[in-house]
Amino acid sequence: MPLLHEGELTFDFPAEGSDVAKYDEWSFFRNQFQTVCGGTKAIDFIFVEPQRTWLIEVKDYRRHPRTKIAVLADEVAAKIRDTLAGLAACRCNANDETEQQIAHRALSRASIGVVLHLEQLEERLHVRKAFRIA
């Protein structure tokens, strides 16, 4: 099982029949796409299964509480939008063949799902809001 790290968190993904990558560390994103249109955002992980692509954003507020004024749902939505645009550009223009192939497979799936993995201190859990990005 591939292990991917984001900050202090470790995630394991099934290896068989899937692709997993840290999109925000791809050379395509960092060297070719990040500065497009005055700057783009990126989700943390792409997980491509046979039927679905998952775009996964990780937020860990246990050590440092959120101080941004922006609404978290809007921030995640912007990252999803920019990542999908980046995957489309990567599929055609990436210098790294592996990244190009993963982008192609990610955009070829029947559906795309979004996951927000959110960690926060227990005392902050008294306010719970759920949202869904369709």
61 in a domain, yes or no?
yes
131 in a domain, yes or no?
no
Task: Look up the CATH number of the domain holding residue 25.
Answer: 3.40.1350
**How would residue 110 be classed by pLDDT, with cut points 50, 70 and 90?**
very high
- Length of the chain as a residue count: 134
100 in a domain, yes or no?
yes
| Residue 109 pLDDT | 96
Residue 57 dihedral angles phi and psi, to the nearest 5° = -110, 135
Question: How many distinct structural domains can be found in the chain?
Answer: 1
Beta-bridge partners for 86:
none
Whole-angstrom distance, CA of residue 103 vs CA of residue 111: 14
Whole-angstrom distance, CA of residue 24 vs CA of residue 3: 16
104 in a domain, yes or no?
yes
| Residue 129 pLDDT | 53
- Check if the beta carbon of residue 61 is closer than 8 Å to that of residue 121: yes
pLDDT, tens only, 11-59: 999 878 789 999 999 999 999 898 888 889 999 999 999 999 999 999 9
Q: Which residue range forms the structural domain that includes residue 19?
A: 3-126
pTM of the predicted protein model: 0.84
Query: What tokens appear for 116 in the block?
Result: 């927000």
